[in-house]
Each structure stands twice: as C-alpha cells, then as structure tokens.
Chains A and B, each alone.
Chain A
Amino acid sequence: MRKYTISILGLALIFCAPSPASQSKAPDPSWDLLKKIVLIPGLSSQEGKVSDFIQSTLPASLKVERDAKANVWFTVGEGHPHLLFVAHSDELGFVIDKITPQGTALLRARGGLLAQTCEARPFVIYTAKGPVDGIIQPRPDYYQSQSSTRAQGQNPTQGQSGAGQNPAPSSPPNPAQKPAPTPVRPQAAPEAFELYFGVSSEQEARALGVAEGNQVIFKKKLVDLAPDIMATRAVDDRAGCAALLAAALQLDWTKVSGKAITFAWDVEEEIGLVGAQALSKILKPDYVFAVDTFVSTDSPLENKRFGNAILGRGAVLRAIDSSNIIPKTEIRKIAELAKKYAIPLQIYNSRGGNDGSVFVPEGAVDIPLSWPGTSAHSFIEKIVKSDLEALTKLIAVIVEDWK
C-alpha cells in the first residue's frame, strides 16, 4: 500500500513540475549539432563557414542578422529586460604568414595552444582551391637527444637515425629505466613553426593553392571515449554554439513577451573579444549570458584547489573568472531556476575571460553559463553529453522564466 502511495505521489510530482518548451519530449539536438559544428573550420577572423552553418540551421521564422565580421544574431520580443546569450564561433589555429623558397610556410598563431603539442602533427590548410594536407615539422634537432639516451643502455633499435642503425648499448635493456632526462628543450614559439606540404619550392606550394592568410587548422578527429563522452579540438566554443542553437530550435518563440531575447554567435573571441566589442555597439542588453567553456580542473594533471567542476555532473555557473564576477543575487537566481526545473548545476570559479564582460561597462550584468571542460585550448578538449544537455535546458528556462 505504501509502495502505491509513493508511486502516486511521484506521478503527481511529474505532472505538477513546470513544463516549458525546454522540457519538451523532443530529443535534445545539442550533441548531434556539436558533432557537426565542431568539424567546420573557423579560425578567428575566418568564421564564415561556421556562421553559414548556424544561419542555415536556425528556424526560418527567425529574423537573423549578420554583420561584415560574420557575427550572427536574432532578437525576439522587445522591451526590458533584454537578455543576450552569446557563444563564440571562432577557434584556435594559425595563418600562413610567409611561404619560403623551400616550399614550406611560416605561421602566425591565432590564440594560445601549447606549442609543443603542435609539433610533428597533421594540419589542414584551407586554400582557395580547397583543403590541403600539411604537417608542422618537428624541430630540426628532435633526434639529437638520442646520444644522451644511448649511454643509458637503451635498446638498439631499427631505424633510429638510419637503416637499423645500432646505438651500441653498453648493457642489456632495462625497460623499467626512465629515459635520460630530456635535454633542455626550449619552448618553440609558433612563429618558429614551419608547415610542410611535400613540395620543395615556393612555386609548387603556390600551385597547391597555398597563400598568405590561409587558415591552418589541426586535423580534427572526434575521439569517442564513450557514447556520451567526446574529446576533440574546438569544443571551446562550438559546444556553446551548439547549446545555443539547440535551445533556439527547441524554444517556442511565439511565447516570448514582456522582454527581449537575443541569441548571438560572435567572432574573434580568442584574439581579444573582438566580435563581442562590435556587437556591444549595436546591442544594449540588461543581462548577458556568455555561453562558453568552464575551465575545469577535473583532470589528473591539475591542481584541484579551484575550478573542480566535475564532468558529468551538469552545467556550470562560471561565478568568477578572469574577466567577471557574477553578483551573488544573480547566482542565487540561477541556482533557484536550476532547482525549480531539476537541472543539474555546479557553481565554481576558474580562469579565462568571456565575451559577456565587454557588455558590463555598458550596464549589463554578465552571467557566464558553461559546461565543465578539461584540457581547454588543446586538441583533446573533453565534454560530456549530459552536461551539454543540462546547459541547453538552462538556457531555455532562463529565456522562458527570467523575470
């Protein structure tokens, strides 16, 4: 009898729970959208194709605007409060700075990647003639550290620096032995990187279509750590773009009244919030919700002193970062909304800036919304599906229920 009472109470709770459009039974498309949008090349200042994708995915009923920089946005409703949600569409990478007489290309960095992780890796160059495969050359002396390891009794191995060359160990191998400490390996500046295409002259490189200004993006692959866990480059901030797109697709925009809602996908965040600055001249929101990565320390090489939002435990309210502090009243408001709609939410502080901070001097309150992401600004930015879905729901309920 007690069992039946609990069941009936449970059913009653389900029917009494708020049921905004964001809680619709339609599957959340954010994960699938992310898998598509993350693969589109869109280096800072060359985001056109990402913007095209966003525009073509948005419902036709929305009046979408686009500026010369490829910022994309739409506004529904009017009056106040005016809520702006913004995710950035650009990603990190390089541009071709100069083509050498030897047919390689020198690079200029767009945003910060750890230099050593770029060496000896495949990249794609987006030229007027189409994508071209290239590799960032390893530093010229990469193999010279061999001599220091040979003295440690390392294995003679096939093809070390020549055909089956034998480093002539003085003792049998000891697999447990650590390699000799790596000799001083100065941090390579991206400007020292050279891109190799397989050619040996400038003329040949140009014949491939390679030219100064081409964007150079890491050859991306989706690493499926589980059906609902993925790692790849540019999750920052294509996950934010996907969450915003998914919310735009799920919301019933005809029900927005007594406030104005703007969704924006802006450019050039990684090189100094440039797109957001352009938008701030047009849009004057009361609240801006920057939708971007929460730099989580839920990773074995990080200090857990702060930022320890756990992957798989829901969306994150980025309460304090390097560019903004959310007022406590607004933190409580978001926390209450999340509780009301049973959205898992973590509240932490971490590092990094966000586009919303640009609007604060103009009078807006900046409330960055996130998912917990590890290894930010790497080739293996990791994300969990349920966190992205929680973020999408949070965006939707704020649109519907913000007073």
Chain B
Amino acid sequence: MKKRMIQSILAILFLLFAGAGYSTAQDIKSVVKELFPILSSTGNEDALAAKIEQSLPKNAAKEKDPMGNLYVRFGKGEPRLAVLAALDEFGYIVSGMTQDGYLRLDRAVQPPHSQYDSYLLGHPVMISTSKGPLQGIVAQPAMHLLTRERRDELAKNFSLDLVFLDIGARSEEEARAKGVEILDAVTFWPDLSELANERWAGHALGLKTGCALLLNLAVEMSGMKLSREASLGWMAQTKFPVRGSRSALGAMRAKKKLQPQKVLILDVVAADRDEKSPALGKGPVLVQAKEEASKLKDAIDTIAREKNIPLQYQTGVESTLMNPFLGDTTEVLTLALPVKFLNTPVEVVDFKDVRALKDLILSVIGSGRAK
C-alpha cells in the first residue's frame, strides 16, 4: 500500500517536472518579459538562444548549429511543417576605443532606415562584455552650448561618426579593465513600457515577442500527439543575407537542416502606417510573396474562420526569410505580428494579436490540415 502511494507521488512529481522550464503554458507576457532584456544583435544571438534552449521542455528534441540556429522537433515521421522565427535584432558592435576611454561603434548589418542611428544620441545603451552586461551612454552636447547650426547638423546629418560611447572610463586601459573588447555587442537600453489595452512598447519588442511565442508553442506542442513531425526553429543572422542573394543566412541554414515540406515564417509587419497597411489589434497578418493558390493558405483561412481568429492579409511582399523556400516544392507563408512604430526604440505590440497568432499556429499544427 505504502509502496503504491510512493509510486503515485513519484508519478505525479514526474508529470509535474517532466517538462521542466516552462512546463506549463506560461502566460506569454511573462515569457516576453524574460526574453526582452536579452541582447541579441546579429551575430550575438547566443544568450537569447541559450535562454530559449534552457526554457524548452526537457522532453523536446533540441538541436543547435554552429551558427546559432536552434531547432526543436516534435512528433515522428517525415519532416512536414516547420515554424521559424528570427533571433536577431538590429544592433551595433564596439569597433574601437579612444585614448580617453570612449568606445566607437560600427555595425555588422545596415540599419532598417537611415534615421535609426540617430536614436542613439543622448541615450543609454547596453554593452555585452565577457564580464557581463555593461551600461553606457552615447554622448550628447550640452543644450547650452549648441548653436542653431550645430543643432541642425545633429538633426540632419547624424551618423555613427558622431557616436562616442561613454562607459565611465578615462583611458583605453580602463575601458578594457571593465571587460570591453572589440566586437562586443551594443544595443539600445531595454526599456519596456506597458501601455493601455494590452499594448506594450520597447526596442525589438516584435522580434522578442516572436521568439517568446515560438517558445510558448514548444511548451504546448510537447503535450500534443502529432502524427507527423513538426519542428520549430529560431534563426540566427537573419539580417545578414547570403552573399550575392536575397535570402537571409539563418533561413537558408534552417532549410538545409530541416528540409520541411511546408514552412510558416513567424515575422513582424509594420502596422498603422497608412490605410493599406495592417492594423494593430486586428489580428495576425497572412503574408504571401504573390497572390496565388496555396493549400497552406486555404488551411489557415479555414481554421481562422472556424475558430473565429481575426486575420489580415498582405501580398506582394518579398521576404528574405521566405526567399530560401521559394521556387521549389516547399510551400511557404508568413504569419506576421503587426507592430506599430516598427524598427524604433518603441515598437508596439498588442497581446490580443499575439494570442490570436499563437492560437492560429497551434491550430494549424494540431489540425493536421497543413499535411
């Protein structure tokens, strides 16, 4: 009797802890909060990938490649459906140190728009060093000393040439003693604002929400019985194209690794820019490179209709993430999260969209309609 009781307790404990990490479907907001401050610029995705990996259910079949892509597979059989999201945000690297201890910045990939660098001026940033995260500020002239001409110059012609990163060091030696090395990653301060109506704002929030959503899906999928294999992938270096092509490096590698028959890219899309653009809070966006018949699209349409999940549409968009999968037998679509003020330090996401997107993808995986 006693033995049976102990066995029962052990069984319950096993069930409780088998998944470990986010063994229960944690609220997506708390997952976003955990991933949000982790610096993950292109080529420096290791910390974010490691956090996701350690949070995956213990029973999930995980794989990593040397470039930093992370994969997890569920179910058995032929690789059917892959859901892929990017790991990397726009960021900078330490490219030099001045004799008086300031850091100079460069980038591995170009910014999303030419105003982007100007968001650095007069604001704090984070530097990822071998000794851990370091705080710094991008020097700004005192307002009292700015002539109108200089003010205009800063507004019109700001570039990385004017960026001096102050970490409180007085010499290169002091800077190095703080753990800073050339190529250390630098990004905007992780400032999360909780707005009204379940809307949050922050730098690279769309990307981090996508990563969190995929992680949340992994937890849900670990408890599902799948008749075919489905895989999830977090892709590194997606902002870096394969040389001479229009395909993101991380996506190219994911294709080689997973060889899926159908691919859903989990991406972000600019919201509320004009009358034609998707709207924030009106549901995820189904993006096609060009308008054409697609079984995958039909399946998603049907599920969205049946489950009453709001869905918006966008076509005519060429995507570096979709490109590697175009032109052969693989069927690829993008399901995107609408993001207001995309590629600024205050990207806004709406958690109603996030949940709808998660429900939609989960339903696609669970329904078997994507076969």
Interface residues of A (CB under 8 A from B): 112-117, 119-122, 132-135, 137-138, 142-146, 148-149, 152, 154-166, 168-169, 172-173, 175-187, 196-199, 204, 208, 219, 221, 223-226, 229, 231, 295-297, 299-303, 307, 312, 322, 350-352, 374-380, 382
Contacts and interface: CB of A to CB of B under 8 A. Distances in A.
Contacts of B342: 143, 159, 161
B270 A352 contact: no
Contact of B140 (A114, A175, A352): A114
B319 interface: yes
Interface in B326-365: 334, 336, 339, 341-346, 348
Nearest to A199: B196
Contact of B123 (A117, A183, A229, A382): A117
Interface stretch (B24-32, B69-77, B163-171): B163-171
Contacts of A119: 119
A379 B123 contact: yes
B112 A113 contact: no
B290 interface: no
Nearest to A138: B344
Interface in B156-193: 156-162, 164, 166-168, 170, 189, 191, 193
Interface centre among A144, A198, A351 (most CB of B within 10 A): A198
Nearest to A166: B318
B113 interface: yes
A198 to B, nearest CB: 3
A144 B113 CA distance: 7
The 7 closest A-B pairs by CB, nearest first: A225-B168, A198-B195, A164-B319, A377-B143, A163-B336, A198-B199, A154-B110
Mostly, the B contact residues are: loop
Interface residues of B, number: 97
A55 B206 CA distance: 45
B166 A225 contact: yes
Given A135-B195, A162-B314, A157 B146 contact: no
Contact of A186 (B118, B154, B155): B155
Contacts of B239: 155, 157-158
A231 B139 CA distance: 11
Contacts of A115: 155
Contacts of B124: 221, 223, 231, 379-380
A185 B139 CA distance: 21
A164 B321 contact: yes
Contact of A179 (B142, B155, B159, B344): B159
Interface in B109-141: 109-115, 117-119, 121-124, 135-141
Given A120-B346, A295-B144, A299-B139, A143 B113 contact: yes
Nearest to A103: B196
B268 interface: yes
Contact of B344 (A113, A120, A162, A182): A120
Interface stretch (B100-108, B226-234, B253-261): B100-108
A215 B160 CA distance: 33
Interface stretch (B57-65, B214-222, B240-248): B240-248
B156 A182 contact: yes
A377 B145 CA distance: 10
A402 to B, nearest CB: 29
B131 to A, nearest CB: 13
B212 interface: no
A169 B241 CA distance: 10
Contacts of A375: 122, 137, 139-142
